[in-house]
Amino acid sequence: MPDEKTESRLVLISGRVQGVGFRYWVLGQAQSRGFNGWVRNLPNGDVEALISGAPAVVADMLAAFWTGPTFSKVTQVTDEAGETPERDGFHILP
């Protein structure tokens, strides 16, 4: 079986996504999927994430963003092609 390519997506998640543990939820989801990348809060109340991994797993995570942790209420998820993360692993950025 040929090696699967890596896909990187820059994702913007809107709604009630700050103050509900969303970044830590993303961290756990990303680590369990073996992603490289990061997640951070934005000043406008959105959350931004860069996820990088196998295309099928990236697609699965894009769908999972709509669920989020228990007290979140996601109203929009947008994504675009992203750059390959500069370091290995998945991290929460300030």
Residue positions annotated with a catalytic role: 23, 41
Own/partner long-range contacts of 66-71 (Cβ < 8 Å, ≥24 apart)? 68/13, 68/17, 68/20, 68/22, 68/25, 69/20, 69/21, 69/22, 69/24, 69/25, 70/20, 71/16, 71/20, 71/21
